[in-house]
Amino acid sequence: MAWGGLIFRAPKEVSVEDLPSDFEVPPLGTKEEVSQVLRQLIPQGDHGDDRSSVVGDDFWLELNLDRREEGSTLTSIGVRSNGGLGAIGILQQICDALGARLYDNQEGDFADLGNNTRASMEAFAAFRDRAIKKMTDTSDTE
């Protein structure tokens, strides 16, 4: 179970609902260019061809790149996290470096990478913990 999102280029100060129906997501760069940015921003991370990940004191973060043919352009990066607040700073750096925004799957709109994102991650973590506890409590009684 993971908190998730999608990093892509979209106009600033516009909500997802306000994007025009014919909006086409501009490319972030080639997979190699985007991978290089992630390697520079997260030198302590584990970087593969299609994925980068990093673990911090209170978080884990996984960044998934499209699996398209070599040299093709990427339009987005898939984001998975345990919802630990330490991931927010890294997500902000990535968005800034790529001129992109983070769509928060849980909230259904772009993340502010501030108070609203913290609240989203905290709400997810609370839900996850309740679900795990319920599953654990149920399996203990069987």
Count of alpha carbons within 13 angstroms of residue 83, beta-carbon side: 19
pLDDT for the residue numbered 73? 87
Q: Which residue has the higher pLDDT, 85 or 140?
A: 85
57-94 tens-digit pLDDT: 999 999 999 766 556 789 999 999 999 999 999 999 99
Can you say how many angstroms the Cα of residue 126 is from the centroid of all Cα atoms in its chain? 18
pLDDT for the residue numbered 69? 57
Name residue, tokens 């985007």.
34
**What is the Cα–Cα distance from 111 to 64, expressed in whole angstroms?**
18
What's the pTM value of the predicted model, to 2 decimals? 0.89
Q: Which of 89, 67, 88, 87 is nearest to 77 (CA)?
A: 67
**What is the Cα–Cα distance from 120 to 75, expressed in whole angstroms?**
24
Query: Taking the CB of residue 92, how many other CB atoms lie within 10 A of it?
Result: 16
- Domains located in the chain, CATH noted: 3-10+20-141 (3.30.1400)
9-56 tens-digit pLDDT: 999 989 999 999 999 999 999 989 999 999 999 999 999 989 999 999
